[in-house]
Amino acid sequence: MRNAAKITTAVLAAGALTLGLTACGSDKDAASDTSGPLIVAASPVPHAEILTYVKDNLAKDAGLDLQVQEFTDYVLPNTATEDGSVGANYFQNQPYLDDFNKKNGTHIVPVVTVHLEPLGLYSSKIKKVGELKSGATVAIPNDTANETRALKLLDANGIITLKDGAGNDATPKDIAKNPKDLKFKELEAAQTPRSLDDVDAAVINGNYAIESDLKPADDALVLESADHSQYGNFLAVKKGNEDDPRVKKLAKLLTSSEVKKFIEDKYAGSVLASF
């Protein structure tokens, strides 16, 4: 068990509004009490692992009391940050955050970009992209940002062609050419690894691939390029909390040479430092 409090979606759905009070044991929420610990919401892999490394090896010397809470979805980390249940989160990229803020009226802003998890196409049935048969079914994430990202990955590798001008809200309806008449199964991002036995291939986010014992650098049929990527994952806070001294300390630690080496050694190219 990692040095973090793993919180399931079911528990969070019932208790997210009171999480800050129970965590801090006072009538102040986690974000406003800058004298208390900084509670950071994170996806289990690699985000919570990176934060736990910081907590165990760097935070004490920097005078930072860091607590990590794991979330297993892509919604509650932002809602908990917005309502002050946690002081920050670390799990998302800019296109996802832009879409989330727009749809939910939240005010989350990035602080510092830490790493990129390359999106990949995986299969338990074929070894090469060229082996995809006509009419094959490909699972893709169903949230706006990651669905677009998945389709752009397939487009970049010549598997489909998107219409000119397809933006950051592309769906299968924006495909101009589909030479193999692929069928797309839209699933919650966390479910895509579990679909591998039921589909011919699946586009899987890097964190979920690693959690499922896939090695993006070795196992992906095609892998997203890190060059000029807009999908770097960052530490984020509710707008107005960027100058919280605890957040500034964590931002500095997350972009330290020690963390870069930890990422390189632990993830061997499946997670790429962005600093």
The two tokens of residue 223 are 């892998």
pLDDT at 1: 32
Average pLDDT (143-150) is 94
pLDDT at 29: 63
135 and 240 fall within a common domain: no
pLDDT at 32: 67
The two tokens of residue 124 are 């338990």
- Total count of domains within the chain: 2
pLDDT at 11: 35
Q: Which residue range is the domain that position 161 belongs to?
A: 120-223
Average pLDDT (165-191) is 96
pLDDT at 56: 98
26 and 125 fall within a common domain: no
209 and 262 fall within a common domain: no
Q: Choose the most confident range, by mean pLDDT, from 22-26, 106-110, 117-121.
A: 106-110
Which pTM does this prediction carry?
0.75
Helix, strand or coil for residue 27? coil
219 and 146 fall within a common domain: yes
60 and 106 fall within a common domain: yes
pLDDT at 225: 81
Please answer whether residues 119 and 149 qualify as being in contact, where contact means their C-beta atoms are separated by less than 8 angstroms: yes
Pick from 82-86, 120-124, 165-169, 195-199: least confident: 165-169
The burial class, CB within 10 Å (0-12 / 13-18 / 19+), for 58 is: buried
157 and 101 fall within a common domain: no
Biggest CA-to-CA distance, the chain: 60
Please answer whether residues 79 and 9 qualify as being in contact, where contact means their C-beta atoms are separated by less than 8 angstroms: no
CATH number at residue 147: 3.40.190.10
